[in-house]
Amino acid sequence: MLSPSSGRNRTVAGRPFISFGLPYRPWQDLYHFFMTVSWPRFFVSLAAFFVFFNLFFSAIYSLQPRGIANLNPPGYPGLFFFSVETLATVGYGDMHPHSLFAHAVASVEIFTGMMCLALMTGMIFARFSRPTARFLFARHTVVRPFDGMPTLMLRVANARQNILMEATAQLRLIRDEKTLEGDPFRRIYDLPLRRHEQPVLLFGWLLMHVMDESSPLFGATPQSLTDEHAYLLLTVSGIDEVTGQRLMARHAYAARELRWNHAFVDTLQTDADGVDHFDYTKFHDVRPLNLPELVFSSRGQELLPRT
């Protein structure tokens, strides 16, 4: 049996996944590796390459003794620092190649170093210039009556507080089911939103999905969603007005993160002067509703209890 340490671990909506069978070889896709690795690991990787590169050329220089004039400090440390100066094309003038072999090796190192420097500069620029979204997703979703129908609500905001044009949102339900033959199958359902487009996204956006008879969530209960390992996947995108680039972000909600018969705490308040105030300290807050429990268990029955 394969141990978890022998595979690659990923977590989606709080559920761990371990994949096997594909070898992890980041050197076969270095661009993706350097674009996705964290900034500390990125600079540590560059530093390790820099040291290895100079150690390699120092070893080549050492193949011909006295190939470098005025070597200081003597021996391998001096060759290492000469390689560093050659790679950076600094040329202090104290140490210099003293033979045809050393000149040839230095020429190869300078050419290779210039290529590596260009690649590193481009990679750093690509990381800095890559568009990054700063969408703020509420920690929980709520299910509450709205216009007489049980409605799933999600809240998202633009944490950068600049204008995002033509923002769109897609909501999907992923859960484990069984086919008519009894085989386990993971299905993906599109959950239509009452409004999936927002012409201008500046502060917050309340997304709503009506859980009527046409909804894949019709008849769902907290226990049924937990048993089906269900989770919601919300994807939001928009065009940054400053850069003109499309920004995208996603967030997954496990079944335990749904708050039934709850409502979001209002974050928008208008003062006496007519000025709107958006309070981000309440963005994740929910409050229970003093209403009868919603009835979702039986298809074809009333979605809301009669009062």
Both tokens of residue 125?
A: 């620029």
- The reply to whether domains 25-129 and 135-288 share a CATH topology is no
> Could you tell me the pTM of the whole model?
0.71
In whole angstroms, what is the distance from residue 155 CA to residue 201 CA? 12
Domains of the chain by residue range:
25-129, 135-288
In whole angstroms, what is the distance from residue 169 CA to residue 114 CA? 45
Q: How many angstroms separate the Cα of 47 from the Cα of each of 53, 54, 301? A: 10, 11, 66
Task: Please report, in tens digits, the pLDDT of each residue of the chain (307 residues total).
Answer: 444 444 567 676 666 777 766 676 766 677 778 888 888 988 998 899 999 999 999 999 999 988 899 888 888 899 999 999 888 878 777 888 889 999 999 999 999 988 988 988 888 888 887 777 789 999 999 999 998 899 999 999 988 878 889 999 999 999 999 888 889 999 999 999 999 999 988 888 999 999 999 999 998 989 999 999 999 999 999 998 888 888 999 999 999 999 999 999 998 888 888 888 888 889 999 999 877 655 443 333 344 443 3
The CATH class, in words, for 25-129 is: mainly alpha
Task: Determine the Cα angle at 94 with ends 91 and 96, to 5°.
Answer: 65
Instruction: Find out whether 91 and 85 touch, Cβ atoms under 8 Å.
Output: yes
Instruction: Find out whether 97 and 68 touch, Cβ atoms under 8 Å.
Output: yes
CATH number of 135-288: 2.60.40.1400
In whole angstroms, what is the distance from residue 234 CA to residue 173 CA? 9
